[in-house]
Structure 1
Amino acid sequence: MSLKITHECINCDVCEPVCPNKAIFQGIEIYEIKPELCTECVGHFDTPQCVDVCPVDCIPLDPDHVESKEQLDLKYRQLVGKPI
């Protein structure tokens, strides 16, 4: 499952630089996450880095983009060019 940023976001700018897949970007009102790039940091870290640094806990799992750990790992491998 990818993550999403909710409207509780305060635009503090701490999540975007820690995303290893560059999935986080400044949207019109708040930061947003591109689900096609979000792997919940699978392949990079043990925990999602954006969630770890968010001071207002506004980055939950996105129920509209459900993915298993295996699917996230496959997405990670495709993003970084590792053999599948």
Structure 2
Amino acid sequence: MEIRKMTVPVALVNGTKGTPVQAQTQKQNNTTKHGTAASEQSVSHDWHMLEQAHDDLKQTSDFDAEKVAAIRQSLRDGSFDLDIGAISQAMLRQHG
């Protein structure tokens, strides 16, 4: 079995624009106009929930700005404590 990385956004593969969630919603709306099976209608609620989650995630930060600021300050004033033993143990647990 071979797994390939997609280099084209999902929305472009489906021939629609926007995020994958918007693309699926757009695809469902297009098929609804032309008559669809009941199974496609039943996933509509799930897609609405995913779209809401996507919007919520866009509003969150990818990192903890306060923690980064604290680390920068400790590096500046020389108080940053690096526990090599704890790091090596965590690496061993993670990677064997």
Per the normalisation by structure 2, the TM-score is 0.23
Per the normalisation by structure 1, the TM-score is 0.25
Which of the pair is proportionally richer in helix? 2
> Which structure is higher in RCO with an 8 Å CA cutoff and minimum separation 6?
1
Q: Which has the larger radius of gyration?
A: 2
